[in-house]
Structure 1
């Protein structure tokens, strides 16, 4: 008997990539749900619990992609609660959830608690920060010769979105079980490491400079970043000093059977050829 897999958030960056990997891995019985469905997809809005039973009907395993950062806080927790409750009622047998490496007392940890309380087998993928934004950051740093961050000694094991999608596809294909996996890149990189790799990729010297979070937020705001977003970026950068993203886990390789892409390879691929952009999360 076949197993039907459901990808919630299928129209976003990550969801689309997961579906591509699932098909490449031989999965044929797929349900794709989104708030903006196209042909062959089902409508599902996590803000509207009534929309979810029909969307989830017939699925045995579900990938719950955490909703957008713009919904962070009580709204995102409520969205995830609606999705988990609907999955239980629809007879879903297991859930894979995209969480965040180093999450503490936030929306992700609340969602992890809800999954434990649901009684369903579940796999929590604690993803490191995406590598993709670093390309523009380092390209800009190459232009001015300086990479500035509120992090001083913090390291992060950045990983590509595509590698996260492959990990999610493999996790969704596993038999139901409860596990937590750290999905990280092959290297935990400091700001100085980023500057060195960026210099090599773009062929221009980049110096690394650490500043206080207040000064960093002011710098970003002066460059046109909305003040609230500037403060959030500075906070996220400074949080790296806690070690939250400093991981050498081998879970990705054990799950997928391959090595994750390095930052150097990622940058060199995209400095030598035009990048095809997609939208979503």
Structure 2
């Protein structure tokens, strides 16, 4: 059985690649990546690294692949046609099963990012290719990227209100993707989220405790949060996207208490405090 990962050089992709190699051996793993040079180490370890561009998909790169993980592209606004091209190529190449990294509660999610994920889920259904949906919640790392300025100013801003967030580490989601790709079956749908919920006020309290400095959460309207993000240099589209996601979380768009993720990976998910501590270290 040959397992392939599309988007294998990204932050999630490299973790999935490592998890797959650990499960099935490098000889049974194909890494699909725009720039194969980025995975020279994986190639040296025995992984088959093939050129694969979401903007110019070549079905020949999928030759011999039995099961394919499609990691969602990172170009928001272009993902619909990019994902469709991969699905079409997988069907043409005779791939027996696909898995796709979607978003938590995709059919009903109020997060703007969910639209392209819903379109991809629909494309998979229309393709007739057996598939698994990995509906990933938020990554812990999404919350820890700006800790230094937050600690410096003593404030973490957002529009999340008292919404509950069940995030997990990238490594947790990578382990789930590898497990589902190897052991799963077409029709599986996994709503994946962390074991424990926290609010952004809870998050700020963890940061304050671990940094040894006062840090508080400051809640804002969606519009004011977007304006604040633009004020620190983010492009308007990105500021709007982040503010939308934050506000949606105020309505529990990132909450799920099924513990499906921890059952799939056979261990508890990584607590947000652990990821904060690692980031501060």
TM-score (norm 2): 0.89
8 Å CA contact 2:157–2:218 kept in 1: the answer is: yes
Task: Tell whether 2:92 aligns with 1:89.
Answer: yes
Whether contact under 8 Å (1:63, 1:96) holds in the other structure is yes
2:3 maps to what in 1?
A: 5
Q: 64, 73, 92: which one pairs with 2:70?
A: 64
SS of aligned partner of 1:181: strand
**TM-aligned CA deviation for residue 110 of structure 1:** 0.9
Q: Structure 1 runs of 4+ off > 4 angstroms? A: none
Picking from 35, 45, 60, the partner of 1:54 is 60
Cα deviation code 1:137-182 (max 9, x no counterpart): 3332222111211121222111111111111111111143311112
TM-score (norm 1): 0.89
Name the residue aligned to 2:105: 102
Which residue in the other structure is 1:246 paired with? 255
Structure 2: gaps of 5 or more residues:
38-42
Match 2:159 to one of 150, 161, 186 = 150
Superposition deviation, residue 268 in structure 1: 2.0
Paired residues for 1:35-50 under 5 Å:
35-38=34-37, 39=43, 40-49=48-57
Cα distance in 2 for residues equivalent to 1:161 and 1:267? 13
Indicate the residue corresponding to 1:277 in structure 2.
none
* Structure 2 SS opposite 1:63: strand
* Cα deviations by residue, 1:86-130 (Å, 9 ceiling, x for unpaired): 111111111110011133461101111111122222111111111
Residue 162 of structure 1: aligned partner: 171
Look up the SS of the partner of 1:24 in the other structure.
helix
Runs (5+) with no aligned partner, structure 1: 273-281
Query: Is residue 138–residue 195 contact of structure 1 (8 Å, CA) maintained in 2?
Result: no
RMSD: 1.6
Conserved in 2, the CA contact under 8 Å of 1:21 and 1:169? yes
Aligned length: 265
